[in-house]
Amino acid sequence: MLKTKIYVAGHKGMVGSALIRVLKKKGFNNIITRTYKQLDLINQYKVQSFFQKEKPSQVYIAAAKVGGIYPNSIYPADFIYNNLMIQSNIINSAFKNGVKKLLFLGSSCIYPKYAKQPMQEKELLTGLLEPSNEPYAIAKIAGIKLCESYNRQYGKSHKLDYRSLMPTNLYGTGDNYHPKDSHVIPALIRRFHEGKIKKKNYVTIWGSGKPLREFLHVDDMAKACVYIMSLDKEKYEKHIKKMCSHVNLGSGNEISIKQLAKILKEIVNYKGKILFDKSKPDGSPRKLMSNKLIKTLGWKPEIELKNGLKMVYSDFKKIYEKL
Mind telling me the catalytic residues? 136
Q: Is 102 left (phi over 0), alpha (psi -120 to 50) or beta?
A: beta
* 119: β partners: 289
Beta-carbon neighbour count of residue 30 at 10 Å? 13
Strand 58-61 to strand 255-256: parallel, antiparallel, or no bridges (unpaired)? Answer: unpaired
* 309: nearest Cα among 172, 176, 203: 172
Instruction: Say what the alpha-carbon torsion angle 143, 114, 13, 25 is, to the nearest 10 degrees.
Output: -90
Element of type H or E holding 195: helix 184-197
Q: Output phi, psi for 283, to 5 deg.
A: 80, -160
User: Could you tell me which of 283, 215, 254, 262 has the C-alpha nearest to residue 70?
Assistant: 283
How far apart are the C-alpha atoms of 168 and 288, rounded to whole Å? 8
